[in-house]
A and B are shown apart, each in its own frame.
Chain A
Amino acid sequence: MNSKIKTLLSITIVIALTVVFHFIGWLSPVEDFLHGLIKPGSQTLYGISVSMNDEDEEFFSNQEELEQAYQNLKTDLLKNKTDSAQLELLMQENEELKKQLNFLEKTNQASIGVNVIGKNTEPTGNTLVVDRGKVDSIRVGNIVITDEGALIGKVTSVEEHFSIVRLINDSQSKVAGTIINHEKSIGLVEGGYGISVHMNFIPQNETLEIGDSVVTSGLEVGIPRGLLIGKIEAIEKEAYQPFQKAVISPFVNLDKITLASIILTGTNLN
């Protein structure tokens, strides 16, 4: 029994020392080397998994269904063009107002493109591994977006040559959001609900509609306003509750991200 206790203690000490050395940074060269060994295979396998799980294909059983789908797409396209024109007008108006108020914008934002080389294999998180790290000025808290300007997550851990990005549908993800409705309702977009996210703490008296878009509110440090998050799929409203909540489907399929951009804030570049 004594030998078993000694073995258990010695292994526990080795594990504890490994953890300490990791947080001190002494294991960084080893971790980078191991990561470099696995990275090509991991990136290839991730790319294959993304192409295998293509859920965007649609099948039509007859011509009427195809024609209906085509008409629906034409209607959506027209609506998007109208929204785009209105957005353009609003942006111009916003710029004019800022100039009139002598509003000074201190933006020092640059971005860096990253490749997704893997994802979390544990069931306790929705995270991606990207191929940029400290040497590329990435810092914890940097936000990650797609080329279309949709928010997909935040950097949660950074090593020398790779980083881990927590997706917006991760249970630990919380982002301040604004709904593009009449009242510009604000709330907290939280993950942990599978492929969708929930926007909580929306005032009860504000009017939401299914299909409303949700963007970042800009109320958080390091997250600019206006980054796309998703659109409302369902609304949960109880008469006796002070807040209502919305179920949001992200604009981006978070299972199929292979390329992204990390926004570097001013502190990254110092």
Chain B
Amino acid sequence: MKFLGQTLLIFFSLITLIALSIAVSYLLPYPFSKINIVFFFLIIVMMSRDSGLVVWISFFTHFFIELYSSTPFGLILFSGTISILIIFWLYKNIFTNRSWYSAMTLLFVVLLVYRLLYILILMVLRWLDLTTIILEKNILLIFGWEILLTCLLTGLFYFILSHFFKSFKASPIEHGLFRV
């Protein structure tokens, strides 16, 4: 019963996250509409729960997003899930410090990896003639705004949360960006 309750809670949390992501994209003016709420949420959850479940949350969230996308199916799913997996490993082994600047760094790296994988796979699909999507000239500017604004939001949010919740606070031995 407890497991069922937790599963339902996670499911409806995912729905809420998707709705929030859509709301930000539709309602906010450019460039704020480019804030990546999904990765913002995933990084916050990863740093508070220390659990690999975040990879599967990323999988299901990006599966939802694929339904509203005109890119070849699997592009967003693969890029999103693998980038979170990589950043989870980095968090567990290198960026072990739980602080607002660590959150910003992780967010920066995960979005960078996500968009690099995205562009790389798109280029491969174009080379294989499996898609005709052309990347517009201002795509790097759009990705830049996405990374900048999402990083700032994550850092600010984490900073505020760390003052109210213990799970977001770094212990004295964790002070320092890298694990020695």
Which residue of the partner chain A has the closest CB to B62? Answer: A15
Report if A49-B26 is in contact (Cβ < 8 Å); known contacts: A19-B74, A35-B67, A121-B69.
yes
In contact, B70 and A157 (Cβ under 8 angstroms): yes
Report if A18-B27 is in contact (Cβ < 8 Å); known contacts: A124-B135, A127-B70.
no
Cα distance, A34 to B76, chains bound together (Å): 17
B57 to chain A, nearest CB (A): 13
Contact partner, B122, options A124, A170, A192, Cβ 8 Å: A124
The stretch that binds A, out of B16-24, B96-104, B163-171, B172-180, is B16-24
Cα distance, A123 to B33, chains bound together (Å): 11
In contact, A11 and B21 (Cβ under 8 angstroms): no
Q: B residues 1-53 with Cβ under 8 Å of A?
A: 15, 18-19, 21-23, 25-27, 34
Cα distance, A16 to B139, chains bound together (Å): 27
Q: A residues 163-212 with Cβ under 8 Å of B?
A: 164, 166, 170-172, 192
Cα distance, A41 to B22, chains bound together (Å): 9
Q: Which residues of A contact B154 (CB under 8 A)?
A: none
Report if A19-B77 is in contact (Cβ < 8 Å); known contacts: A8-B85, A45-B22.
yes
Cα distance, A50 to B138, chains bound together (Å): 24
In contact, A164 and B70 (Cβ under 8 angstroms): yes
Which residue of the partner chain B has the closest CB to A120? Answer: B70
Contact partner, B18, options A23, A38, A123, Cβ 8 Å: A38
Q: B residues 150-169 with Cβ under 8 Å of A?
A: none
Report if A123-B68 is in contact (Cβ < 8 Å); known contacts: A4-B89, A22-B73.
no
Q: Which residues of B contact A46 (CB under 8 A)?
A: 26
* Chain A interface, number of residues (Cβ within 8 angstroms): 42
In contact, B19 and A41 (Cβ under 8 angstroms): yes
B32 to chain A, nearest CB (A): 13
Q: Which residues of B contact A101 (CB under 8 A)?
A: none
In contact, B76 and A122 (Cβ under 8 angstroms): yes
In contact, A120 and B142 (Cβ under 8 angstroms): no
Contact partner, A192, options B73, B89, B136, Cβ 8 Å: B136
In contact, B133 and A124 (Cβ under 8 angstroms): yes
Interface residues on chain B, size class: 35 or more
Contact partner, B74, options A7, A15, A166, A192, Cβ 8 Å: A15
Cα distance, A8 to B19, chains bound together (Å): 29
Q: B residues 54-98 with Cβ under 8 Å of A?
A: 55, 59, 63-65, 67-71, 73-74, 76-78, 81-82, 85, 89
In contact, B27 and A49 (Cβ under 8 angstroms): yes
A40 to chain B, nearest CB (A): 10
Q: Which residues of A contact B18 (CB under 8 A)?
A: 38
In contact, B136 and A11 (Cβ under 8 angstroms): no
Asked if A14 lies at the interface with its beta carbon under 8 angstroms from chain B, I say yes
Cα distance, A122 to B77, chains bound together (Å): 13
Q: Which residues of A contact B59 (CB under 8 A)?
A: 11, 14-15
Asked if A146 lies at the interface with its beta carbon under 8 angstroms from chain B, I say no
Complex A-B: 29 CB contacts under 8 Å: A11-B85, A15-B74, A15-B77, A15-B81, A15-B82, A16-B74, A22-B74, A37-B15, A38-B64, A42-B19, A42-B22, A45-B19, A118-B26, A119-B26, A119-B68, A120-B68, A121-B21, A121-B25, A121-B69, A122-B69, A123-B136, A123-B139, A124-B135, A124-B139, A127-B70, A170-B70, A171-B136, A172-B133, A192-B136
New A-B pairs, 16, CB < 8 Å, besides A123-B142, A123-B143: A12-B78, A15-B59, A18-B77, A19-B77, A38-B15, A38-B64, A38-B67, A118-B26, A118-B68, A121-B22, A121-B68, A121-B69, A122-B76, A123-B34, A171-B133, A172-B134
Where the two chains meet, the residues of B that have a C-beta atom closer than 8 Å to any C-beta of A are: 15, 18-19, 21-23, 25-27, 34, 55, 59, 63-65, 67-71, 73-74, 76-78, 81-82, 85, 89, 122, 132-136, 139, 142-143
